[in-house]
């Protein structure tokens, strides 16, 4: 791998050989297989302690990849990676809470939720890598698109801040109505299976398949926000995909750790809104003047730290 150097746009310009991509994909797939075939081979309820340990391991893996980027491409690439990773992690909090709402609505037993999220992760990774390559290609050819992306992120940030906590019905959507029209679905779950057989031997979907479809739709919606946000701090497909992938891999453990703590982290939504607005403004300004990625990293870390500390203080007072 060649040493990183800054391009005219001040973002790093690295050359990743084919084997580098293959190695990254092998690591990701191997970790997923180890997780599903060894750690979670049998369905069970994941309690807080187990979720905390697994979440710490996944975060540790994601953060340690910063050192890999530093050794392989030097400091600038490592800063871009960790900035993208933290952006993706912070924006994923809302995704976790949406999953909680979906599982609650469809009454999915806790022991079946991990397997459903496992398959959801595969779909999320495919969508992210597609979005990333398309996004980088579009920005490289039409740099003015950065302003459009920036305005969209600012709009999304304001919308996140102004949105309430009203309940929505995940099954009452056009996609779900189309799904049930064309896919015969049973009324009851069959363990962790996505498909089951009726007494007549006819293979039909279980409600878990519908849940998986809703989760994939939610991942698609969040990818529309998160991918442009990460592109604000890096234009290298390898860095953007790696930061997205390692953040996504830890989402399942994060879900079981914080899904029930939404009411305690009262300022996280505000932090997410601030990060989206900042990143959107950065993309707009970057059309004329480069904003140092290290500055963005500092803003993101400071915003998340203040939100978490303020939430803990608020929780203790109330």
Q: Is 292 left (phi over 0), alpha (psi -120 to 50) or beta?
A: beta
Task: Please state the pTM of the whole predicted model.
Answer: 0.76
pLDDT in tens, 74-99: 888 999 999 989 888 887 777 777 77
203-205 and 5-6: which strand pairing? Answer: unpaired
Q: Where are the domains of the chain?
A: 5-142+162-264
146, 233 in Cβ contact below 8 A? no
Amino acid 43: pLDDT: 72
Written as six digits, the tokens of 255 are 């879900």
Question: Taking the CA of residue 196 as centre, how many other CA atoms within 13 Å lie in the half-sphere pointing to its CB?
Answer: 15
Average pLDDT, consecutive stretches of 10 residues, N- to C-terminus, the chain (318 residues): 47 85 92 82 78 89 93 89 88 75 78 80 81 76 77 82 62 68 74 75 80 80 76 86 89 78 74 83 79 78 86 81
- pLDDT confidence of residue 250: 85
- State residue 27's pLDDT score: 92
3-state secondary structure of 135: helix
């Amino acid at each position: 791998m060649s040493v990183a150097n800054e391009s005219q746009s001040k973002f790093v310009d690295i050359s990743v050989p084919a084997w580098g991509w293959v190695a990254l994909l092998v690591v990701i797939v191997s970790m997923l297989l180890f997780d599903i075939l060894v750690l979670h081979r049998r369905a069970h309820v994941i309690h807080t302690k187990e979720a905390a340990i697994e979440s710490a391991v996944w975060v540790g893996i994601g953060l340690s990849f910063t050192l890999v980027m530093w050794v392989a491409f030097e400091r600038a690439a490592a800063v871009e990676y960790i900035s993208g990773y933290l952006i993706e992690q912070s924006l994923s909090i809302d995704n976790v809470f949406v999953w909680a709402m979906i599982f609650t609505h469809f009454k999915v037993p806790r022991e079946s939720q991990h397997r459903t999220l496992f398959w959801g992760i595969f779909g999320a990774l495919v969508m992210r890598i597609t979005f990333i390559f398309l996004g980088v290609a579009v920005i490289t050819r039409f740099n003015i698109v950065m302003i459009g992306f920036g305005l969209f992120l600012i709009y999304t940030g304001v919308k996140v801040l102004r949105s309430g906590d009203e309940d929505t019905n995940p099954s009452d959507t056009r996609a779900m109505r189309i799904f049930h029209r064309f896919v015969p679905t049973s009324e009851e779950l069959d363990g962790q299976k996505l498909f089951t057989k009726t007494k007549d031997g006819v293979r039909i979907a279980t409600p878990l398949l519908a849940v998986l479809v809703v989760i994939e739709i939610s991942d698609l919606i969040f990818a529309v926000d998160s991918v442009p946000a990460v592109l604000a701090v890096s234009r290298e497909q390898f860095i953007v995909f790696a930061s997205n992938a390692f953040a996504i891999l830890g989402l399942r453990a994060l879900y079981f750790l914080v899904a029930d703590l939404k009411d305690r982290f009262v300022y996280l939504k505000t932090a997410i809104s601030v990060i989206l607005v900042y990143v959107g403004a950065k993309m707009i300004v970057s059309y004329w003047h480069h904003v140092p990625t290290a500055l963005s990293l500092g803003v993101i870390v400071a915003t998340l730290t203040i939100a978490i500390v303020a939430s803990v203080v608020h929780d203790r007072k109330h």
